[in-house]
Structure 1
Amino acid sequence: MLELVVRRARLAGVGSPAVDIGIEAGRVVAVAPRIDADCPELDAGDRLVLPGLVDTHLHLDKSRTADRCVQTEGTLAEAIRETGRIKAEFTEEDVYRRARATLEDCVLHGTTRIRTHVEVDPAVGLRGLDAVQRLAGDLAWAVDVQVCVFAQEGLTDSAVTDALLVEALERGVPVVGGAPYADVDPAGQLDRVFELARRFDVDIDLHLDLAETTEAMQLADVCERTVAHGWEGRVTVGHVTQLSLLPPERYGALCDLVAQSGVAVTVLPATDLFLMGRAARAAKPRGVVDLGPLMALGAACSVATNNVLNAFTPYGDGSLIRMANLYANVSHAGSHAQLRECLDLVTTSAARVVRAADYGIHPGAPADLVCLDAADGAEAIARVAPACWGLKQGRRTFTRELPVLHRRS
């Protein structure tokens, strides 16, 4: 017996007519033009209904710390330095409180799946991981949180950091990451990350090639390692701002290599725009990779939030639709097809990045749904459409009242 029917839902197809969605035991069991059932109903009102937004790259543990940092340069080096300075003062409760506020913002904007990167090192130990794992359990009713553990400030020169990574993976953390550009031995860090991934049979998600020149890029090396280790489809790289600076022929060749190796790419528009181009007095580089050619080659790609209200990105509200709109602006995406592709980068394509095989709105899929105040995907991105309500396993997680214009007679 059906437990809920969502009425008049528009799915993300081109010109798709409104449908009803039948839900039972937390899963979608029917999608049809009309479902006759005697059960509670939720009217989407001919608005867009999506299978929840997917944020593939977020830092919950260091969100909402901008007020503790001194920012005079606005550079990556300063952000790492300032965050490192305050990290020793993090307590588990402090991380939990800040991370919860950020995660709840994400839920209120329609996100139902998140991969969050959590730092471990001698300064913070496992306190950030403890807090985020506890938070993931407490908010499991609203959002799925997948943890990626990584070293932000170097790995090869710290046996303590290495031991903490191992301990986190022994706990069952499903993704290991890294930031080789911040290591004294970038190639050595990649050696260790791939070694740990194979040892614990986990996925890899790297902060990679975050710089304003095309020197010392590691993307090709990561692609080659991925194939050599048989980790195709299990490696993601984030940022890769250097890729955006390459001439067309080198860019095209690297895109081919990425697609062939099964490496996924995540672009982080807010952070990359904030940090890149600081030294340029004119014609500032944007540092945001155009994902269109990669998607055309079949690569898994996503746009994600990254940092919220900290030294790396001193703004943010957890809205992936706003982030996709920012990416659309920077990448000159203006046609309906291009705007729909931007929506894919925070939905279906993003789900491929985190290997969410059950993602979608079809019989058997989880009833994790969000309703946006738009008629289709292109409009949702163009207007930064607000989320009206969300479901997790068929149960309401939030409701956002839409504004009403009180006209004078």
Structure 2
Amino acid sequence: MRELVIRDVRLPDHEPRVDVLVRDGLIAAIEPGLMTDACPVAGSGALLTPGFVESHIHLDKACILDRCRNETGTLAGAIASVGAAKRGFTQDDVYQRGARVLEKAIVQGTNAMRTHVEIDPGIGLTGFEAVMRLKRDFAWALDLQICVFPQEGLTNNPGTGELLEQALSRGADVLGGCPYTDTDPNAQIRILFEMATRFDVDLDFHLDFDLDPGWRHLDEIARQAVAFNWQGRVAIGHVTKLSALPPSRLADSVSLMKDAGIALTVLPATDLFLMGRDHDHLVPRGVAPAHVFHAEGVCCTVATNNVLNPFTPYGDCSLTRMANLFANVHQLSTAAELEACFDMVTSAPGRLINRSRSLAVGEEATFVALPAQTGAQAVAEIVRPSWGMKRGRLSFEQPAARLLAPETLLARGFEVETA
């Protein structure tokens, strides 16, 4: 029997501070001042959370700026440049780049993730096989869910459908779509809903990734979700068109998505980088107002999307940073608004990818310690976690930075010049 006790931690919406007893990977007790001989872990008043959940990322095409660039800065330019580079991907190459991203994410407190993986005749199942290896090799720290999708189209790319079915048969968890790259978007949507029902998997679409509110594919997704009785099993990502809607039309979209049980994922770093390239002043932000949908009960998440590639040429996998970026873009500042942003990188994405966790007796001992009093503070200050645990085993730690004042250096035997 393996036991440890985490001393002096805060739980969300819980007073006073408590100790948490962990036994065989599960939470055995939560009480102030637990009497136990279990191995102690210092909580130091940290906020304990089940951890961050990355609901939308692309491990297979991360960290490729050394081989391709987005010369136009547009979405089309990003797709084209990655498409050309993808022809040179190998399984080991994808694995090594994906591992770099997972290591970054883990130390930032992420312990569950949905990654999208491109499938088409050009790349075949190379990326999928590499990410399946990552899923196995990093299971000690992170639950990895794989969503396979046709980035470059389905009906216009013969053989892609068969490859998607092979991936689903071999362990892919979710089926994705990208209607805006297909010559027949509505046909792609219908085919993917049919495939999802056959394999009994959720759907996650890249959708409406531009700023023209005159047309969209959201309505067809909602129609098919109801027709296939797939409410609660469909997510859509980007949906930058929503940022271009006036309040009345935005309210109609909220109602549409609620009725169809569709979740919304916003990717602030990518959406800001790619949208509005045709403007030379008053450039639109292009980030969908997820907080409006969240307030009305729609499952909404904020995620990273890409790291160091032509879609997003930066990123450290910090979801508190991404939540902070979203808050900045939409000018959110109250405690309630920032708590909502925190929810969109923790609890809400946990529900979306079916990895909900709670801090309660009998639950899995998987959580992260944040040196903060509240989730709102974690978002406002982009707080980095102190340590994390997966099923009762410490998965990472990062000691707090220390200031080295002159007297501290003198006490350690260093010479210090004084002004």
Report the 3-state secondary structure (helix = DSSP H, G, I; strand = E; otherwise coil) of the residue aligned with 1:121. coil
Describe the superposition over 1:274-293 as per-residue Cα deviations: whole angstroms up to 9, x where unpaired. Answer: 00011111111111111222
Aligned counterparts of 1:136 and 1:247: Cα–Cα separation in 2 = 42
List 4+ stretches of structure 1 deviating above 2 A: none
Q: Does 1:399 align with 2:366?
A: no
Instruction: Return closer, same or farther for 1:16/1:186 CA change in 2, 3 Å cut-off.
Output: farther
Assess if the C-alpha contact under 8 Å between 2:145 and 2:173 holds in 1: yes
Aligned counterparts of 2:289 and 2:20: Cα–Cα separation in 1 = 35
Amino-acid identity (%): 46
Aligned to 2:415: none
Q: Does 1:269 align with 2:268?
A: yes
- Any residues of structure 2 matched to 1:349-388 within 5 Å, and which? 349-357=348-356, 359-388=357-386
- Any residues of structure 2 matched to 1:193-342 within 5 Å, and which? 193-342=192-341
Report the 3-state secondary structure (helix = DSSP H, G, I; strand = E; otherwise coil) of the residue aligned with 1:402. coil
The alpha carbon displacement at 1:256 in A equals 1.1
Describe the superposition over 1:112-138 as per-residue Cα deviations: whole angstroms up to 9, x where unpaired. Answer: 000000001111110000000001100
Aligned to 2:129: 130
Aligned counterparts of 1:131 and 1:38: Cα–Cα separation in 2 = 43
The alpha carbon displacement at 1:2 in A equals 6.5
Q: Does 1:55 align with 2:54?
A: yes
Assess if the C-alpha contact under 8 Å between 1:2 and 1:22 holds in 2: no
Q: Does 1:179 align with 2:178?
A: yes
The alpha carbon displacement at 1:298 in A equals 1.3
Describe the superposition over 1:275-317 as per-residue Cα deviations: whole angstroms up to 9, x where unpaired. Answer: 0011111111111111222122211110011000000000001
Aligned to 2:65: 66
Aligned counterparts of 1:71 and 1:230: Cα–Cα separation in 2 = 40
The one-letter amino acid of 1:121's match is D
- Any residues of structure 2 matched to 1:142-161 within 5 Å, and which? 142-161=141-160
The one-letter amino acid of 1:7's match is R
Aligned to 2:11: 11
Aligned counterparts of 1:225 and 1:336: Cα–Cα separation in 2 = 38
Report the 3-state secondary structure (helix = DSSP H, G, I; strand = E; otherwise coil) of the residue aligned with 1:140. coil
Assess if the C-alpha contact under 8 Å between 1:373 and 1:387 holds in 2: yes
The alpha carbon displacement at 1:373 in A equals 1.9
Assess if the C-alpha contact under 8 Å between 2:242 and 2:289 holds in 1: no
Q: Does 1:25 align with 2:13?
A: no
The one-letter amino acid of 1:25's match is D
Assess if the C-alpha contact under 8 Å between 2:46 and 2:372 holds in 1: yes
Report the 3-state secondary structure (helix = DSSP H, G, I; strand = E; otherwise coil) of the residue aligned with 1:18. strand
Aligned counterparts of 1:273 and 1:324: Cα–Cα separation in 2 = 14
Higher mean displacement: 214-223 or 264-273: 214-223
The alpha carbon displacement at 1:73 in A equals 1.0
Assess if the C-alpha contact under 8 Å between 1:47 and 1:376 holds in 2: no
Q: Does 1:408 align with 2:370?
A: no
The one-letter amino acid of 2:104's match is D
TM-score normalised to structure 2 length: 0.95
Higher mean displacement: 42-51 or 17-26: 17-26
Q: What is the RMSD computed on CA atoms of the aligned residues?
A: 1.2
Aligned residue-pair number: 407
Task: Specify the structure having the higher radius of gyration (Cα).
Answer: 2
Unaligned runs of 5+ in 2: 408-419
Assess if the C-alpha contact under 8 Å between 2:29 and 2:361 holds in 1: yes
Report the 3-state secondary structure (helix = DSSP H, G, I; strand = E; otherwise coil) of the residue aligned with 1:136. helix
Report the 3-state secondary structure (helix = DSSP H, G, I; strand = E; otherwise coil) of the residue aligned with 2:285. coil
Aligned counterparts of 2:17 and 2:346: Cα–Cα separation in 1 = 19
Unaligned runs of 5+ in 1: none
